[in-house]
Amino acid sequence: QSVLTQPPSASGTPGQRVTISCSGSSSNIGSDTVNWYQQLPGTAPKLLIYDDNQRPSGVPARFSGSRSGTSASLAISGLQSEDEADYYCAAWDDSLNGWVFGGGTKLTVL
């Protein structure tokens, strides 16, 4: 069981906007920033969002992140077929003294 809680699946049609939630506690999301990773099938994870809402160079503006209290969310607008992947949230946990991940959300583009 993961320390951060994500829905196991999400879906949308091309062009739609979808959001993926990530719930934690005061020792992780409540006190530290959240990062999001995208893992395409058969590949290594890729950093998608860091420090809650910052996009690394090359990540389209369609991807955005936010954090409030002990929860965070990833939003994908203008959904495209190539967005079909697993998405993971992560945060530093001050109690565990380590990084914790969500269980991952499998995004399906219908």
Which residues are near other proteins by CB under 8 A?
A: 2, 32, 35, 37, 39, 44-47, 50-51, 56, 86, 88, 90, 92, 96-104
Nearest residue (CB) to other proteins, 15 versus 96: 96
- Strand residues in the chain grouped as ranges (E): 9-12, 18-23, 34-39, 46-49, 63-68, 71-76, 85-93, 98-101, 105-109
Q: Which residues lie below 8 Å from residue 97, measured CB to CB, with a gap of 6+?
A: none
Name the token pair of 109: 């583009």
Q: For the chain, give the number of residues.
A: 110
Give the shortest CB-99-to-other proteins separation in angstroms.
4
Min dist CB 2 to other proteins, Å, is 7
Q: Which is nearer to other proteins, 49 or 76 (CB)?
A: 49
Provide the phi-psi class of 61: left if phi over 0, else alpha when psi is between -120 and 50, else beta: alpha
* Nearer of residues 18 and 100 to other proteins, judged by Cβ: 100
Nearer to other proteins, 37 or 109 (CB): 37
Nearest approach, Cβ of 63 to other proteins (angstroms)?
A: 14
